[in-house]
């Protein structure tokens, strides 16, 4: 499965009132492994940046003066995320800005170019109800080092979010562990075993094994002063362990 972890920085908080995207960062996961591929652009918004936004990300109009307009990078962005599952923290915010940028260029909404969207903020609120679930808070809670993050930055935040997502969703989803070949850095091939025709043998306990087990149960019952609850008298049910 190809997933793209995405983050943006903007001139302000509301795309509907004219705020624009000024940075986008994406990192690629293939079958839950970071591939090393990423996409990163600073974008000239052709407008001022709110002082409050500058305090968050440190990006100024002067820095962006020689950077490309969104129209110059939109096709690279679209090609990189095409049909992938997106992972975004507070997804509605980033998607709102990207949809608006696509709309200003007369293009179909950004969301039409991607697959499913996972909002890690929503997932975190379900996993850690009543707690702070900012990216910094999740990094601290999940043991992910972010001491180098003094300001927000789209690519750095996307890299941190990838680690947060993998930590939040860590676990074995099936009896078959997927393995990637040595080319996993370029998007490896998943190898799994076909268990559809496998018949598992049933090994039944012998009479001797059953009697030994019943003797053990009696010993436990005696040691507890007759307070065990699994059965009134194990000796009266010698066949219960045969299955």
* DSSP codes joined into one string, 41-83: EE---SS---HHHHHHH---HHHHTTSPPHHHHHHHHHHHHTT
Rounded Cα distance between 31 and 25, Å, is: 20
Residue with more model confidence, 40 or 237: 40
Residue-range domains of the chain with CATH: 2-172 (3.30.420.10), 207-237 (no CATH)
Query: Smallest Cα–Cα separation from 135: which of 55, 92, 22, 144?
Result: 144
Instruction: Give me the phi and psi of 107, to 5 degrees please.
Output: -105, 155
Q: What pLDDT score does 150 carry?
A: 59
Residue 233 confidence class, pLDDT cut points 50, 70, 90: low
Segment 10-28 shows an average pLDDT of: 96
Tens-place pLDDT, residues 44-61: 999 999 999 999 999 999
pTM: 0.69
Which helix (H) or strand (E) is 40 found in, with range?
A: strand 33-42
Residue 152 designated active-site: yes
pLDDT tens across 68-105, in order? Answer: 999 999 999 999 999 999 999 999 999 999 999 999 99
Provide the pLDDT confidence category of residue 109 given band limits of 50, 70 and 90: very high
Q: Encode 87-137 in three state secondary structure.
A: EECCHHHHHHHHHHHHHHCCCCCHHHHCCCEEEHHHHHHHHCCCCCCCHHH
Residue 226: pLDDT over 80: no
CA distance 21 to 161: 19
Q: How confident is the model at residue 191 (pLDDT cuts 50, 70, 90)?
A: very low
Taking the C-alpha atoms of residue 149 and residue 152, their distance in angstroms, rounded to an integer, is 7
pLDDT in the model for residue 209: 85
Q: Each residue of 120-171: pLDDT tens digit? A: 999 999 999 999 999 999 999 999 887 766 568 899 999 999 999 999 998 6
pLDDT at residue 134 in the model: 94
Rounded distance between C-alpha atoms, residue 81 and residue 56, angstroms: 26
pLDDT category of residue 216 using cuts at 50, 70 and 90: confident
Q: What is the pLDDT of residue 221?
A: 75
What pLDDT, on the 0 to 100 scale, is given for residue 72?
98
Three-class secondary structure of residue 140 per DSSP: helix
Q: Which positions ≥6 away from 184 have C-beta within 8 Å?
A: 30, 31, 33, 35
Q: What is the mean pLDDT of the chain?
A: 84
pLDDT score at 203: 79
User: Of these residues, 38, 113, 148, 152, which one is catalytic?
Assistant: 152
For a pLDDT cut of 70, what percent of the chain falls above it? 79
């Amino acid at each position: 499965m190809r997933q793209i972890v995405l983050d943006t920085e903007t001139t302000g908080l509301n795309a509907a009132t004219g705020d624009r995207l000024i940075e986008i960062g994406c990192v690629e996961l293939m079958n839950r492994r970071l591939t090393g591929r990423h996409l990163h652009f600073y974008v000239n918004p052709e407008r001022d940046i709110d002082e409050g936004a500058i305090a968050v990300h440190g990006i100024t109009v002067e820095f962006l003066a020689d950077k490309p307009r969104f129209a110059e990078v939109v096709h690279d962005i679209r090609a990189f995320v095409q049909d992938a599952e997106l992972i975004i923290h507070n997804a509605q915010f980033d998607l709102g800005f990207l949809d608006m940028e696509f709309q200003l260029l007369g293009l179909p909404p950004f969301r039409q170019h991607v697959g499913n969207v996972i909002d890690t903020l929503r997932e975190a609120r379900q996993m850690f109800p009543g707690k702070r679930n900012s990216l910094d808070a999740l990094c601290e809670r999940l043991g992910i080092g972010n001491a180098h993050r003094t300001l927000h930055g789209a690519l750095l935040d996307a890299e941190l979010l990838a680690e947060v997502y993998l930590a939040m969703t860590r676990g074995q989803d099936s009896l078959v562990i997927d393995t990637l070949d040595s080319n996993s850095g370029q998007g490896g091939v998943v190898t799994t075993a076909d268990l559809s025709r496998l018949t598992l043998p049933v090994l039944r306990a012998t009479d001797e094994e059953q009697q030994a087990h019943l003797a053990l149960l009696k010993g436990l019952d005696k040691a507890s002063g007759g307070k065990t609850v699994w059965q009134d008298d194990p000796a009266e049910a010698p066949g219960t362990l045969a299955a």
